[in-house]
Chain A
Amino acid sequence: MSIKDTLKQDNIRTRIAFVIGLVFGVGLMAGEQGFLGDIWRYYSEDIIYLAKQHVILVLVSSGLAILVGVPAGIWLSRDWMARYSETALQIFNIGTTIPTLAILALSITLLGIGFTPAVFGLWVATLLPIVRNVYQGLREVPAYLKEAATGMGMTPRHILLSVELPNALYVIFAGVRTAVAVNVGTVPLAFLIGGGGLGELIFTGIDLNDPQMLLAGAIPVALLSMLADFLLAKAQYWLIPRGVNPLR
């Protein structure tokens, strides 16, 4: 998709997301007497409690993934790593095709049940796309920019900080966005390995064949995911400087 298309998409996305939010909000209030109202009355405490857990899982695991993934991507992109980085990238590409449920399952066999294995599994699933995009973003910075920077007397550290990273920022951010989307999509499964979160209402609802409980989990999960994507899209638009942001 061309950048202009993305731009337009994001514009429309903002508007439609607003409309959807409005519909849900109005639905929740107008549904005070109806189906959704019932769900809210029965499950509001659970929803709020589990949503907190849910958000904490997302923030902790994707935060750690960013903290580790960005330096790892930078490290892989350095010239002295060139011999290994293509192989590493192949492995990461394979890694990203591994289904997240499988990653969580393997995480249990390593670490057992609980918050830590859940965070670990989510961290792995989130880490790979971030490292990959940081690496690719940095490698795609045109060689002539680096040559100009070197020729003007910048040190390698300078070049990384004031030329390479700023110019790779858009691609890096796209990676973070993809990674967080994967993360948010996987967090509901964290319940399965004892990590808590809104998945509890969904899975229990399925097991008990209780549509109300099911929806009490599914609707907030869907909303949270859209919200996360929306916030990241906004952040991508505003945080990346105008000179290197194709959206602006």
Chain B
Amino acid sequence: MITLDKLSKVFETPGGGTVIAADQVSMEVPEGEICVLLGPSGCGKTTTLKMINGLIPKTNGKIHVAGRDTDELNPVELRRSIGYVIQQIGLFPNMTIQDNICVVPDLLGWDKNKSRKRAAELLELVNLDPGIFLNRYPKELSGGQQQRVGVIRALAADPPVLLMDEPFGAIDPINRAVIQDEFLKMQKEIRKTIAFVSHDIDEAIKMADKIAIFRDGKLEQYSSPDDLLARPANDFIASFLGSDRTLKRLSLLSVSDVMLGDQIRVTAQDDVSRARDMMREAGHKNIVMVGPQGRARGFVHLNDIADVQGRVEEHYQALPTVVNVHDDLRTAVSRMFRHDTTWLACVDDDGFFKGFITQRAISHALGATYRDAATVAAK
């Protein structure tokens, strides 16, 4: 856990003036969560981060890391107990990957065999073959590979807390998305307490359990990504998040959150009249046809079978696309738009039909928070 209590930083400018880089920042990053410090450049997010490990000395306030007051710790000891990742990665060119990963364990005087073994394990954790990479030098690695090593180097001594200063900022967008996903997957297992600086809203929404928005050294809002997007505290935050902030929420919600799980379905052998009845009863214009095991196979439209006879298999159409229940709404909406449809069948990882999702349901879900807010305000 990281706790900041009225943390301030005042810089003196060469001209004799002062600049308040951080102004009474109070916040708490709960155990095992990622907190993204977000804001325009010069807002104080990086200063705040660097005060946590003492790279920038604080002017006022208190910092507790993992329950200990940092004032009572030797800064060198403190830093060895906090993982640190920077945008420029900062792998030491004179050391092999192995030695780079083992910097902090070596500083802590760990057994060399133990730390070298850990280096190999960590490399495997980020899908780099230790046999190939342990004895390479940083310049022999691609940018993405270097960044992965930069992250596991910070994890080498298994610190409870991690500070990351725009860690994926220098990587091209495609690789960045891959590394972000890898990192989130890793975080599910390692559950570190992470303070993460970013200037990229989309990255923040994707990575964060909580987002702290800074402006001019002040912490403007500190809440979960969904809450932030749904209820920005003021106009600055609203405009910083962008006029499309509601759309950004799409990537925070998963298909299962808004899926209509009613299980109406037909099989190929069913009679069309049965399909008609089911649709009329449920008030739907379409019904999904499943295979013998329950996998989504196709659908029939009410108009197509309004006055025909026979079995479903003679009249069904192929599904243009389906969506996985674990996908986010952004993916679902994108597929709907691409195929010009207002609904999608939802399937699980094995292709079994689980329900369907409609544009109406999505817009209802996104609008819900605003209606809640309006109700609260009305009271």
- Which A positions have Cβ atoms within 8 angstroms of B? 142, 144-145, 147-155, 158, 162-163, 166-167, 169, 241-244
Contacts and interface: CB of A to CB of B under 8 A. Distances in A.
B76 A151 contact: no
A152 B137 contact: no
A142 B88 contact: yes
B84 interface: yes
Contacts of B87: 144
A167 B76 CA distance: 22
Contacts of A148: 84, 86, 88-92
Interface residues of B, number: 29
Interface stretch (B59-67, B93-101, B226-234, B246-254): B93-101
A148 to B, nearest CB: 3
Given A158-B107, A244-B94, A153 B86 contact: no
Contacts of A166: 92, 94-95
A248 B270 CA distance: 73
B44 interface: no
B88 A144 contact: yes
A153 B107 contact: yes
What 9 pairs between A and B have smallest CB-CB spacing?
A148-B90, A153-B80, A166-B94, A243-B137, A153-B79, A151-B84, A144-B88, A244-B94, A243-B94
Contacts of B104: 152-153
Given A147-B86, A243-B94, A243-B96, A152 B103 contact: yes
Given A243-B137, A243-B139, A149 B86 contact: no
A239 to B, nearest CB: 13
A167 B96 CA distance: 13
Contacts, number: 73
A145 B78 contact: no
Interface string B49-73: 0000101000000000000000000
Secondary structure class of chain A's binding surface, majority of residues? helix
A245 to B, nearest CB: 9
A155 B104 CA distance: 12
A169 B95 CA distance: 13
B90 A244 contact: no
B79 A162 contact: no
Contact of A145 (B53, B92, B107, B154): B92
A220 to B, nearest CB: 39
A243 B42 CA distance: 35
B31 interface: no
Contact of A167 (B80, B81, B94, B103): B94
Contact of B79 (A151, A169, A241, A244): A151
A153 B55 CA distance: 10
Given A158-B107, A242-B137, A243-B138, A151 B94 contact: no
Given A144-B86, A244-B93, A244-B94, A150 B79 contact: yes
A152 B84 contact: yes
B76 A155 contact: yes
B363 to A, nearest CB: 46
Given A144-B86, A151-B55, A153-B79, 19 more contacts: A142-B88, A144-B90, A148-B90, A150-B55, A151-B53, A152-B84, A152-B103, A152-B107, A153-B77, A153-B78, A153-B80, A153-B107, A162-B92, A163-B94, A167-B93, A243-B93, A243-B139, A244-B93, A244-B94
B88 A163 contact: no
Contacts of A162: 92, 94-95
The interface centre, meaning the residue of B89, B90, B95, B107 with most chain A CB atoms within 10 A of its CB, is: B90
B8 to A, nearest CB: 21
